[in-house]
Amino acid sequence: MAHEIKGNKGAKMIRTPILIINLKTYASGTGKNAETLVEICEKTASGRTIIVAAQAADIHRAAKKAKKTSVFAQHIDAAEQGRNTGFVTAESVIEAGANGTIINHAEHKIPLMLVQKAVERARQNKLITVVCAATAKEAAEIAKACSPDYIAIEPPELISGKIGVSTAKPEIITDTIKAVHKVRKTPVICGAGVSSREDVKAAIRLGAKGVIVANFVMSAKDKKKAISELVEGLG
């Protein structure tokens, strides 16, 4: 049975398995290009769950194009609304149209204490949380500390590589699932180097509830073809 989580009021249900496309700060996913990518996702979803993680400045324009696609923030801070300059609040990304957020990505690591606070701020505002971990041990610590909606295991050394985690290090997926599920039944997704339908299929077979990708899609000349291939792997 698919795992389902509902985000903020009026937002879509998130049903697994999921494909998260992290636009990072690629030029091919910035501004108008973020809108274009969401439009491509709308045409290629085929009933599967696709989530686009956009830069904070692009969430609003991406969300305007999203009907079947969900839009996540790439990060939120633990800061509350008020006298805080330069922070990304949960309330601001919701107002922009986000349904969830990534926290603690390998390229934006924060201390566990701030992960806890960011997850709590997200929970208070009904934002779905995907918290990233580099190891099975870190994933279990995160699950115990703050119980996010999803944990994403991403070995940093494989990020943006040409070999997917499900091929290069399948044991890290199974070890993470075991470690996390000893603490809580938090669903685990995986990422780092995912670049084919076979990578996605292998991840699902290993027990992952989805994948998170960036480079394969963002560097592809034919983004529709790249996204379609990954969607096919979801089954």
Active site residues: 105, 154
Of 160, 148, 153, which is closest to residue 115 (Cα–Cα)? 148
**How far apart are the C-alpha atoms of 190 and 164, rounded to whole Å?**
10
**How far apart are the C-alpha atoms of 222 and 224, rounded to whole Å?**
6
Strand partners, 70: 51
**How far apart are the C-alpha atoms of 35 and 59, rounded to whole Å?**
9
b/e per residue, 100-111, with b = 16+ CB within 10 A?
A: bbbbbbbeeebe
- CA of 124: how far to CAs of 43, 82, 120, in Å? 33, 16, 6
Question: Are 130 and 102 a contacting pair, CB within 8 Å?
Answer: yes
**How far apart are the C-alpha atoms of 217 and 195, rounded to whole Å?**
8
Of 123, 181, 126, 128, which is closest to residue 153 (Cα–Cα)? 181
Query: The tokens of 140 are what?
Result: 């279990």
HSE at residue 163, side-chain half, CA atoms within 13 A, is: 8
